[in-house]
A and B are shown apart, each in its own frame.
Chain A
Amino acid sequence: MFGTRIHGRGGQGSVTAADMLSLAAFNEGRHAQAFPSFGSERTGAPVVAYCRIDERPIRTREPIDRPDALIVLDPTLLAQVDILTGLPADAFVLVNSTKDPADLGLEDFLSSHRRERLLTVPATDIALRRIGRPVPNVALLGGFAAMTGLVELESVGAAARQRFPGEIGHHNAAAAAEAFEYVTAEQADLAQPVPRPAGAGTHRATRQQESMADQS
């Protein structure tokens, strides 16, 4: 059983992200359960959604207290909501941010956490370019596929096209693919550390722009 917890704000598509992650797993013939932790929903309020994936039918209905992975759609939540407490040291954490993970203000957390399992991806920027709307959820799922290997990028793309028929689905799938590449490159950077000058992180942004130029 692999448990993912998704933190975002009302309107960012956290609940849809959990649904689509479950759909991606279903597309691969696995069992999955996605559910929200609803409050009185309103735009901008913190929202939590969950997704369990397993090879066997899933019976439990409790929230996921000790997730194997976190997806954070809004990095401002890191300062406001107790998201990271109790997280296992080997849990995956993917944050929607243009910053380098080292610049998120999570020094305490990083000191006890596997470095390569805290990654960022500029999912809102990618969504704005690819979809034209600041909805980072599907892009993050693409990055999540690269980070965890839990689901294939193709399954995420198929889920996006199933959930959003037509152009929107294709644009979302493209956003997922771009985030997948970004995170894959980020992992490669970490696997082969090079001395980085002050202002770390810019090299990746540069490469990202080059990559965009290639595609356009």
Chain B
Amino acid sequence: MRQQIEGSQAVARAVALARPEVICAYPISPQTHIVETLSRIVESGDLEPCEFINVESEFAAMSVAIGASAAGARAYTATASQGLLFMVEAVYNAAGLGLPIVMTVANRAIGAPINIWNDHSDAMSQRDSGWIQLYAQDNQEAVDLHIQAFRLAEEMSLPVMVCMDGFILTHATEMVDLPEQELVDRFLPPFEPRQVLDPEDPVSIGAMVGPEAFTEVRYLAHLRHLDALAAIPRLSEDFREATGRDSGGLVSDYRLADADIAVVALGSVLGTIKDAVDELRDDGMRVGVLGITTFRPFPKAAARAALGHVRRMVVLEKAFSPGVGGIVTEDIRSSMGCSIPMNTVVAGLGGRPITKDSLLRMLREAAGGHLGALSFLDLDEDVVAAERAAVATTAATSPTAARTVRRPR
């Protein structure tokens, strides 16, 4: 049913529609509203059988999810930022054990300095953890991706991280069409675990594997990720048949077929980018958009097919690798098999708004060939230069972050 609803509440309801049997979570902004809502749904008795387990940390949240999933329960958790980092050891274990846990990451920056606002540093830090990573463009897609994620996880026996931009989506109220329970039940059959811890028939999972087989174990996980590249579009198509909505899949494109310039991005910023692209199209600039919905496994063939004809790519990223630059950029580059000029634009760090005006200015520079290979959108060059000069000439007496905040603009 269509309703005007906050993103977190919509996602909580979508998760409940997937009938999880164990929900374990520790609150952290901006994910908190999701698990708060789920705890109320469980308390109301509307979601049975389901146990909501209050845990004492994110490490415990993922550990409980691992235990629940290994015992054959459909398990869900949610986190963000430092919380994701705190559970990392268990995050890798969930993937290594092939447990189909679904976790929402309400994307948020990582400290220090402390920052509660949105960027993609948290999820990107788990790029190589072995989890599937899906990124939602808007709250409708966040809802749809969660329902698809449970089926994908269970079909592939892999954990799935659904990434949605913290605050920008989690705290935004907009129209969302929540599917009916019957529809979700038809789309998502009950969980049939591939491995179950059963006291009547005890086994060990996650036991020691030495050099004689570890490579094969890891290679098999890689193959399962490659298999997921085929499964994800199929599930998206099944979902479209059930709901009439295009959501999920590997990539999405917008005005890209005849574009000279492609903007590549993930998540909610795609909306603002599309508005900017429409304006540039009105000015005669042939620009289009490629949204990366599935970031892990990376859809190399789909990206190559969508981008092969363009003359320039601008990859807009809400995270970066210090000393290197773009993270998504390198995946795009390795997908292409030919050298198309690329610009990496790092934007929206720690919640800095990504405005249409800034995007228009940046894309016009890119089209004119005046944009550097790596740039930071709306970077205050004066503040940076002043801090560099201060560090070069004086003994520092306070942290860089403190001085940068205090510097007049």
19 sample A-B contacts, Cβ–Cβ < 8 Å, listed by A number = A26-B3, A26-B4, A31-B174, A33-B174, A35-B168, A38-B167, A59-B271, A59-B274, A59-B275, A60-B272, A61-B165, A61-B269, A61-B354, A62-B272, A62-B354, A62-B355, A62-B356, A63-B353, A65-B355
Q: Which one, B30, B116, B117, B168, contacts A61 given CB within 8 A?
A: B168
Residues of B within 8 A of A59 (CB): 138, 271-272, 274-275
Residues of B within 8 A of A32 (CB): 4, 173-175
Report A33 CB to chain B, min CB distance, Å.
5
In the assembly, what is the distance between CA of A23 and CA of B4, in Å?
A: 6
Within 8 A of B (CB), among A26-74: 26-27, 31-36, 38, 40, 58-63, 65
Residue-wise interface mask of A (127-147) relative to B, using a CB-CB cutoff of 8 A (1 in contact, 0 not):
000000000000000000000
Point out which of A40, A58, A62 has the most chain B C-beta atoms below 10 A from its C-beta.
A62
Residue-wise interface mask of B (132-176) relative to A, using a CB-CB cutoff of 8 A (1 in contact, 0 not):
000000100000000000000000000000000101100111110
A60-B171 contact, Cβ under 8 Å, with A19-B6, A32-B4, A65-B355: no
Report A49 CB to chain B, min CB distance, Å.
10
In the assembly, what is the distance between CA of A31 and CA of B173, in Å?
A: 11
Report A152 CB to chain B, min CB distance, Å.
16
Which chain A residue has the least Cβ–Cβ distance from B117? A38
Asked whether, in the complex, the Cβ of B272 is within 8 Å of the Cβ of A36, the reply is no
- Cβ-based interface call for A176 (8 A): no
- Excluding A31-B175, A61-B269, 9 further A-B contacts by CB distance (< 8 Å) are A31-B174, A32-B173, A34-B172, A35-B168, A38-B116, A59-B138, A61-B165, A61-B268, A61-B272
In the assembly, what is the distance between CA of A34 and CA of B176, in Å?
A: 13
Give chain A's interface residue range (CB within 8 Å of chain B): 20 to 34
Asked whether, in the complex, the Cβ of A60 is within 8 Å of the Cβ of B173, the reply is no
Residues of A within 8 A of B356 (CB): 60, 62
Residues of B within 8 A of A18 (CB): 173
Which chain A residue has the least Cβ–Cβ distance from B268? A61
Residues of B within 8 A of A23 (CB): 4, 173
Point out which of B3, B4, B167, B356 has the most chain A C-beta atoms below 10 A from its C-beta.
B4
Residues of A within 8 A of B116 (CB): 38, 40
In the assembly, what is the distance between CA of A33 and CA of B138, in Å?
A: 11
Which chain B residue has the least Cβ–Cβ distance from A65? B355
Within 8 A of A (CB), among B337-354: 353-354
The interface on chain B, measured as residues whose beta carbon lies within 8 A of the other chain's beta carbons, has a size of 26
In the assembly, what is the distance between CA of A59 and CA of B271, in Å?
A: 4
Report B81 CB to chain A, min CB distance, Å.
14
Within 8 A of A (CB), among B258-277: 268-269, 271-272, 274-275
Q: Which one, A33, A40, A62, contacts B173 given CB within 8 A?
A: A33
Asked whether, in the complex, the Cβ of A60 is within 8 Å of the Cβ of B275, the reply is yes
A35-B354 contact, Cβ under 8 Å, with A23-B4, A59-B274, A60-B272: no
- Cβ-based interface call for A22 (8 A): yes
In the assembly, what is the distance between CA of A61 and CA of B170, in Å?
A: 12
Report B8 CB to chain A, min CB distance, Å.
12
Report A47 CB to chain B, min CB distance, Å.
12
Asked whether, in the complex, the Cβ of A61 is within 8 Å of the Cβ of B4, the reply is no
Q: Which one, B165, B167, B175, contacts A36 given CB within 8 A?
A: B167
In the assembly, what is the distance between CA of A59 and CA of B169, in Å?
A: 12
Which chain B residue has the least Cβ–Cβ distance from A39? B116
Residues of A within 8 A of B353 (CB): 62-63
Asked whether, in the complex, the Cβ of B175 is within 8 Å of the Cβ of A26, the reply is yes
Residues of B within 8 A of A26 (CB): 3-4, 175
Residues of A within 8 A of B354 (CB): 61-62
In the assembly, what is the distance between CA of A38 and CA of B6, in Å?
A: 14
A60-B271 contact, Cβ under 8 Å, with A23-B173, A33-B174: yes
Asked whether, in the complex, the Cβ of A22 is within 8 Å of the Cβ of B4, the reply is yes
Shortest beta-carbon contacts, A-B, top 7 = A59-B271, A26-B4, A35-B172, A34-B173, A62-B355, A19-B173, A33-B174
Residue-wise interface mask of B (281-294) relative to A, using a CB-CB cutoff of 8 A (1 in contact, 0 not):
00000000000000
Q: Which one, B117, B167, B271, B275, contacts A35 given CB within 8 A?
A: B167
Report A67 CB to chain B, min CB distance, Å.
14
Residues of B within 8 A of A38 (CB): 29-30, 116-117, 167, 171
Residues of B within 8 A of A58 (CB): 174, 271
In the assembly, what is the distance between CA of A35 and CA of B172, in Å?
A: 4
Which chain B residue has the least Cβ–Cβ distance from A59? B271
Within 8 A of A (CB), among B179-229: none
In the assembly, what is the distance between CA of A125 and CA of B174, in Å?
A: 31
Residues of B within 8 A of A62 (CB): 272, 353-356
Report B112 CB to chain A, min CB distance, Å.
15
Residues of A within 8 A of B117 (CB): 38
Residues of B within 8 A of A27 (CB): 4
Asked whether, in the complex, the Cβ of A22 is within 8 Å of the Cβ of B167, the reply is no
Residue-wise interface mask of A (1-29) relative to B, using a CB-CB cutoff of 8 A (1 in contact, 0 not):
00000000000000100110011001100
In the assembly, what is the distance between CA of A58 and CA of B138, in Å?
A: 10
